[in-house]
A and B are shown apart, each in its own frame.
Chain A
């Protein structure tokens, strides 16, 4: 097979386009840009029920994503769900009376941890525990309670 400069150019173009498309997938279509590993610190929170929370679920404050859940374990002694999360270290000013609650984005959306700062002077550090938590709202439970209440009122 003879070779020509055009063929070389075309092969080069092909390889360049192929690699460009992989980069496109990595940076434009995936969460790689969010990976850009900032320094993080770890906080733990105990929830009575962590609902549909998953590893990698977002942690946000005032609607802005500030970290993610890295582990969810069950504590067999207290029957609690222990949620570990990584928070960007640039947001290291949460006081120790911060409330962690599990909310749902939209009616059927995914669940996330919301942090709401309190008024304390003492700031949470790496490996600290968030004491005040609010569990996930389980839809079945809420509906059950609502129906129960409605039945009570009718009596």
Chain B
């Protein structure tokens, strides 16, 4: 009994300590971002591995999500004779929710896990300590460029996801199901609000990019420097990112689309 209580207490303390380390790490990273600007090459390399390499999975998923939305939406809407609203339905769901959320989940799986594994391995092979020995701050040199790259790549990926999804929806809608092309776009343009929908979607994806990259980098940086530790950290990255993205999405949606 006492032992279990001790274990519980220990775990609680451990998780608070981790949160504290995470916050500290974030602050260090944010202050380290300034040092990336004189060395754009570092950022460019990371944009390649975080953004360009995620491009394919994001666009293909976006295409299929849009096509499925269109197909499913059509069956529901045609019951009410409202097929003309298909474009509106596809675009609203993509721009407000699915674009930012699904691309953040894919991003966490594709780029986040890679970041954690990379940094965890750097730690396990003592490259980070080596850098410190050479008076190179690993936060500035390794972490900050990756963080910035994640922050830049995420809104772009979410935008791509939504745009391709809308095109995919149109492909299925007007190509396969015979929805009028003009109605598809006209309803969308009439009802999708630039500030209310598009800008809020971008804010969402920025937030998700911030959180998933932070989690991925911190888990790698904080990993136990063994093979098993790195593997666990990678798993935690994906799981925690998914939780945080979905939880944050609920809060952001409640804040953004509350009244209307």
Q: A residues bordering B, Cβ < 8 Å?
A: 1, 3, 7-8, 10-11, 13-15, 17-19, 21-22, 24-26, 28-35, 56
Contact = CB atoms under 8 A, between A and B. Distances in A.
A154 B34 CA distance: 84
Contact of B194 (A11, A13, A17, A31): A31
B156 A35 contact: no
Given A22-B202, A29-B95, A29-B188, A14 B193 contact: no
12 contacts: A1-B45, A7-B45, A10-B48, A10-B52, A15-B47, A15-B51, A17-B160, A18-B153, A28-B185, A29-B185, A30-B193, A31-B191
B41 interface: yes
The 8 closest A-B pairs by CB, nearest first: A18-B156, A21-B163, A32-B194, A22-B159, A30-B192, A21-B159, A30-B194, A21-B160
Best-surrounded residue of A19, A22, A25, A35 (most CB of chain B within 10 A): A25
B189 interface: yes
B45 A30 contact: no
B166 A3 contact: no
Nearest to A16: B156
A26 B192 CA distance: 9
Contact of B190 (A13, A14, A31, A35): A31
B68 interface: no
Contacts, number: 93
Nearest to B260: A54
B155 interface: yes
Contacts of B163: 21-22, 24-25, 29
B197 interface: yes
Given A18-B156, A21-B162, A25-B201, 10 more contacts: A11-B52, A13-B52, A14-B51, A14-B156, A17-B156, A19-B156, A22-B159, A25-B95, A28-B185, A31-B189
B198 interface: yes
Contact of B198 (A1, A8, A26): A26
Contacts of A56: 193
Tell me what chain B mostly uses at the interface: helix, strand, loop, or mixed: helix
Given A3-B45, A11-B52, A14-B47, A29 B192 contact: yes
Given A21-B162, A29-B192, A11 B47 contact: yes
A7 B48 contact: yes
A29 B189 contact: yes
A37 to B, nearest CB: 12
Contacts of A15: 47, 51, 152, 156
A17 B55 CA distance: 10
B192 A21 contact: no
Contact of B156 (A3, A22, A26): A22
Interface in B191-217: 191-194, 197-198, 201-202
B52 A33 contact: no
B119 interface: no
Contacts of A3: 41, 44-45
Contacts of B159: 18-19, 21-22, 25
Interface in B70-120: 91, 95
B157 interface: yes
A155 B53 CA distance: 79
B229 to A, nearest CB: 24
Given A10-B48, A30-B193, A25 B156 contact: no
Nearest to B95: A25
B26 interface: no
Given A3-B44, A22-B155, A11 B189 contact: no
